[in-house]
Amino acid sequence: MKASELRSRLTGLSLLVVGDVMLDQYFWGEVRRISPEAPVPVFELQEISYALGGAANVAANLRGLGCQVQLCGVLGEDREGEVFQGLAQQNGLGTEGLIRASDRPTIVKTRVLAQAQHLLRIDSEKVTPLPPLLKENLKKRLEPLLDWAQAVILSDYAKGLFLSEGFCLWLVEEARRRAKPLFVDPKGLNWRKYQGATCITPNRKEFTEIALKEDLPPEDLGQACPRLVSRYGLDFMVVTLGPEGMFLYHPEEGSWHFPAQAKEVYDVSGAGDTAIAALAAFYTAGLPLKEAVAYANLCAGVVVGKMGTKPVLWEEFEAQLEKGT
Ligand SMILES: Nc1ncnc2c1ncn2[C@@H]1O[C@H](COP(=O)(O)OP(=O)(O)OP(=O)(O)O)[C@@H](O)[C@H]1O
Ligand SMILES: [Mg+2]
């Protein structure tokens, strides 16, 4: 497929991201003296900036590739929730699936940076399962979005949305009933709640943990993946291997290893978000599976070369594609 054809297919895609959304907040400033009150630095705040985090970073990556995106998740009834919603809209994300809840704050990760040095991270979150009424409201919001979407990404950061196995399974089953592919970025050892997903994309650590739990050899991907695919009713599986790239297993197409494509590595945070976003987009655009994984690997290679957690942009991907051919 020519790049221009792929680009126009991507811009025509409707994708739904459901997950734990977060606001990344950055405090930029300087430290020039020690506090007279205690032996700690005094941070002089100069500027505050924001970015979309967690599941919202997956959505930002899909937008970066040109897709139409709806984001579904829970925010607090607080100022940070307002900031998040404004940022999502500025980034061109559909916000019909965002619900404000009174029982929890917006999840915020604040990074304090003095002269670009990371001094401190402050987390604000309340990790508890969703109350029943909130789950019902989410399901009502999700029904029309599931009809609209051509594929779904379930981005689990274990911050509340999918702590209920019932809600998680409901989402997976509703997607399957509509024949919409569903991709899971998993957390934790309970994969039963993802049963019947199209694909799960653990990183190396998540893969090792689930393999050990299932009494499978964690170092032997070629042996463990087929067992996990059949046990959890998946169509295929992609393991992201950090500096070693990606591993694909599909029952008919077999096992494939894709070496990492990064030229320079500055910041690997968020690479997993890019990987699942790009994989879902390219697969849903109709690329053969191996090509979709190879291209997702290329996109992840682009973002690890950027400072901070930044989404991939189509132009950057296209430039890499041209270099490779
Ligand atoms: N050090 C690296 N060198 C080259 N490529 C990398 C490196 N780290 C990550 N990548 C690319 O990013 C992809 C995803 O990375 P990784 O497996 O670390 O996911 P992850 O742990 O879920 O990331 P995160 O949770 O930080 O978003 C890899 O499959 C690879 O393509
Ligand atoms: Mg990850």
Quick: pLDDT tens for 88-122.
Answer: 999 999 999 999 999 999 999 999 999 879 999 99
Name which residue leads in pLDDT, 42 or 307: 42
Q: Which two tokens stand for residue 322?
A: 């041209």
Inter-helix orientation angle 3-11/314-324, to 10°: 160
Residue 304: CB within 6 Å of ligand 1? yes
- Half-sphere exposure of 48 toward its Cβ, with a 13 Å CA cutoff? 8
Residue 130 lies in domain:
3-22+53-107+125-324
CATH number at residue 194: 3.40.1190.20
Output the CA torsion sign for 265, 267, 273, 277. negative
Query: Is 35 part of a structural domain of the chain?
Result: no
Query: Is 167 part of a structural domain of the chain?
Result: yes
Q: What is the pLDDT of residues 197-240, one digit of tens each?
A: 999 999 999 999 999 999 999 999 999 999 999 999 999 999 99
**Which of 99, 78, 64, 111 is closest to 310 using CA atoms?**
64
Q: What's residue 281's pLDDT?
A: 98
Q: What's residue 253's pLDDT?
A: 94
Query: Is 47 part of a structural domain of the chain?
Result: no
Q: What is the pLDDT of residues 23-45, one digit of tens each?
A: 999 999 999 999 999 999 999 99
Name which residue leads in pLDDT, 117 or 80: 80
Instruction: Give residue 106 CA to ligand 1 midpoint distance, Å.
Output: 26
* Residues near ion ligand 2 (Cβ under 5 Å): 203, 272
| Edge-to-edge strands, sheet with 117-124 | 41-54, 21-34, 108-114, 117-124
Q: Please enumerate in sequence order all residues whose Cβ is within 8 A of that of 304, keeping only pairs 6 or more positions apart, or say none.
A: 262, 265, 266, 267, 268, 271
CB 216 within 8 A of CB 227: yes
Chain position carrying tokens 């901070």: 308
Among protein residues, the one with the nearest Cα to ligand 1's atom 26 is 269
Query: Is 46 part of a structural domain of the chain?
Result: no
For range 54-73, the mean pLDDT: 98
Q: What's residue 263's pLDDT?
A: 78
**Which of 170, 214, 159, 230 is closest to 194 using CA atoms?**
170
Among protein residues, the one with the nearest Cα to ligand 1's atom 20 is 272
User: What is the phi/psi pair of residue 200, to 5°?
Assistant: -115, 140
CB 260 within 8 A of CB 301: yes
Beta strands in 6-93 (DSSP E): 14-19, 21-34, 41-54, 68-76
The number of folded domains in the chain is: 1
Predicted TM-score (pTM) of this structure? 0.96
Per the residue annotation, which of 20, 24, 185, 273 is the catalytic one?
A: 273
**Which of 232, 73, 57 is closest to 141 using CA atoms?**
73
**Which of 191, 222, 175 is closest to 72 using CA atoms?**
175
Point out the ligand 1 atom lying closest to the alpha carbon of residue 296: 31
Point out the ligand 1 atom lying closest to the alpha carbon of residue 300: 12
The model's confidence at residue 262, banded by pLDDT at 50, 70 and 90, is confident
Ligand positioned closest to the Cα atom of 204: 1
**Separation between Cα atoms, residue 155 and residue 22, nearest integer Å:** 12
**Separation between Cα atoms, residue 95 and residue 136, nearest integer Å:** 18
Q: What's residue 325's pLDDT?
A: 59
Query: Is 112 part of a structural domain of the chain?
Result: no
Query: Is 180 part of a structural domain of the chain?
Result: yes
Query: Is 119 part of a structural domain of the chain?
Result: no
CA 233, 135, 125: angle at the middle one, nearest 5? 100
Residue 235 known to be catalytic: no
**Separation between Cα atoms, residue 147 and residue 231, nearest integer Å:** 28
Query: Is 234 part of a structural domain of the chain?
Result: yes
Q: Which two tokens stand for residue 72?
A: 């579904």
**Separation between Cα atoms, residue 66 and residue 159, nearest integer Å:** 28
Q: Which residues of 231-253 are buried (b: 16+ CB within 10 A; e: fewer)?
A: ebebebbbbbbbeebbbbbbeee
**Separation between Cα atoms, residue 277 and residue 53, nearest integer Å:** 14
Do you know the residue count of the chain? 325
Residue 262: CB within 6 Å of ligand 1? yes
Query: What percent of the chain is modeled with pLDDT above 90?
Result: 94
**Separation between Cα atoms, residue 2 and residue 13, nearest integer Å:** 17
Residue 297: CB within 6 Å of ligand 1? yes
Average pLDDT of the chain, as a whole number: 96
Cα→Cα distances 20→17, 73, 185, 247, Å: 10, 6, 11, 25
Output the CA torsion sign for 206, 216, 293, 10. negative
